[in-house]
Structure 1
Amino acid sequence: MPDLGKYAEAVLSSYAVSILLIVALVVLSVRRSRKVRAQLDDIETRRKNHGEG
């Protein structure tokens, strides 16, 4: 690891915040994807049950 000197705290905390934000975005995206996929599956099931497909 490079010597960051007096800026080590700022640099490392910036990395930590960035990583946390990226992880949060991935988690939110996956959760949203699952929700939308479930809704689409429900819509397709209802269409098939009503004889429209």
Structure 2
Amino acid sequence: MVELGKYAGTVLGAYGVTLVLLAGLIWLSLRRGAKMRDRLEAQERRMGRNG
């Protein structure tokens, strides 16, 4: 591992926060995508019944 010196805690903490935020953004994007896909499918079913 690279020697980070006296800033090791700060640097590793920043990496940790960044990874958590990226994971959260990915999770939110996937969740919203699934929700929108469900809404689109529901709308397509309604349109199919109504012509």
Tell me the TM-score normalized by structure 1. Answer: 0.94
- Going by fraction, where is helix more abundant, 1 or 2? 2
Q: Aligned residue pairs: how many? A: 51
CA RMSD of aligned residues (A): 0.4
- Which sections of structure 2, spanning at least 5 residues, go unmatched? none
Structure with higher RCO (Cα < 8 A, 6+ apart): 2
Percentage of identical aligned residues: 43
CA–CA separation in structure 2 for the residues paired with 1:49 and 1:26: 35
Tell me the TM-score normalized by structure 2. Answer: 0.97
- Which sections of structure 1, spanning at least 5 residues, go unmatched? none
CA–CA separation in structure 1 for the residues paired with 2:10 and 2:3: 13
